[in-house]
Amino acid sequence: MNMREKQKNFDFAMLTYFLIVIFFVTLRLLSSFGLLSFMGDYGDYVFTIFVQIILLFGGSIFLFSSLKKQKISKTFLDFGVNRVSWKVIGLSLILGFVVYFINLFVSSTFNGIIDLFGYEHNYGSAITSYSFSSLIINIFFTAILPGICEEIAHRGMLFKAFRPFGTWRAIWISALLFGLLHVNIEQFFYATLIGVFLGFLTLISNSIIPAMIVHFMNNALSCYVIFSSVNGLPLGNAIAWFEGVINSNIFVGILVSILVLISLFYLLIFVTQHIARLRIKEDLADIQMIFNKEIIRQNYLFDLEKTKSELSGQQFDPTYDLENDNLDDPFLKIKEFVFSQDLQTEETFKPSKYGKLLLFGSFLLMSVLTLFTFVWGVL
């Protein structure tokens, strides 16, 4: 992708995301001030469908495709919706469990910090009943839809748009926007950290599907833990027992928490490295396939030249140089394949003022609303 194409990609992504933010913020404010209450008990579901499917998914795919004037299938590929092996899917499910339990510690720590500044949590009314059908509905609206739609927008469209800034900048900027999109000071910190990990996972797997799976698992487990606690199931009881242990004695609690966190981070690193190794094996297999094809091509051209020499009665020169045939370098495809996996930008990217203004506007709007949740508790 040349510099001009990168700039257009960035501008279109920023325009798309800015429009998404405008509509999202408007709906969030209307909902907060009770102007959507006419929809009754179905209001939250309608709100979620509109935000997730129409704004995040539809905007990122259809609006972006329209601006770039390209096929939707091409946009999916550009956003990294690439197939992965069953091994990677299984490992991603494991990562989802690990991320969820690490998230429990991180969110608890951050909530303790903002408590010191006088923040009052809104826990809502206590849940006394939680049916299995309610669990399925909640998993669909809070795990499946966000796992797909939010990843398409952030690890797909935004991560791709920010790559010319450098890989790590792309990971962090898309993660910050992901954290701010929750428009909740309690969720901002851990959502941003999860976003960083999901961006890295997308990078090493060359697909956003593992990030979708981890995102889904984190949210689905949150729903299931509440369901288990309310209905007295083993997982809910186990977590309640664990919380009782770490809260019974401050020194025991700190020691147990540190040991559990170390174990979780070790498992996180181990599984992530395994996914990276699988990606490397797949790349090497692709390179080997290209190499084999070029060897077959070389042998074919060699035999063809030998046959031509025999038919013309000329003596065949076995040192014949294929480069004189005006054909592609036999190793060019291999080089292109290897260097297409670059992790850093090759040239200094200079985004347009228009694109930077849209990016700043998105940051500003969501930052102000997130700050409101901390200072005034508006949302």
pLDDT digits (tens, 9 = 90+) for 281-310: 887 777 777 777 777 777 777 767 667 666
In tens, the pLDDT along 81-127 reads 999 999 999 999 999 999 999 988 888 788 778 877 777 766 666 67
Q: What is the pLDDT of residue 322?
A: 44
Q: How far apart are CA 292 and CA 314, in angstroms?
A: 30
Q: How far apart are CA 96 and CA 89, in angstroms?
A: 11
Q: How far apart are CA 210 and CA 193, in angstroms?
A: 16
Side chain identity at residue 365, one-letter code: L
What spatial distance separates the first Cα and last Cα of the chain, rounded to whole Å? 41
Q: How far apart are CA 200 and CA 202, in angstroms?
A: 5
Q: How far apart are CA 90 and CA 104, in angstroms?
A: 22
CB environment 20-52: b (16+ within 10 A), e (fewer): bbeebbebbeebeeeebeeeeeeeeeebbeebb
In tens, the pLDDT along 249-292 reads 667 767 877 888 899 899 999 999 999 888 888 877 777 777 77
Cβ(55)–Cβ(24) below 8 Å? yes
Number of Cβ within a 10 Å radius of residue 124: 6
Q: What is the pLDDT of residue 126?
A: 65
What percent helix, strand, coil does the chain show, rounded to 5?
Answer: 80, 0, 20
Q: How far apart are CA 286 and CA 341, in angstroms?
A: 12
The owner of tokens 């147990």 is 256
Q: How far apart are CA 28 and CA 375, in angstroms?
A: 17
How far is C-alpha 62 from the geometric centre of its chain's CA atoms? Answer: 19
Number of Cβ within a 10 Å radius of residue 188: 24
Residues of the chain below pLDDT 70: 1, 121-126, 243-250, 253, 303, 305-306, 308-348, 374-379
Cα–Cα–Cα angle for 53, 56, 62, nearest 5°?
Answer: 85
**Cα–Cα separations (whole angstroms), residue 42 to 28, 39, 46, 48, 139:** 15, 6, 6, 10, 16
Collect all residues with Cβ–Cβ distance below 8 Å to 16 and sequence separation of at least 6: 59, 60, 63, 64, 67, 157
- The pTM (predicted TM-score) of the whole model is 0.83
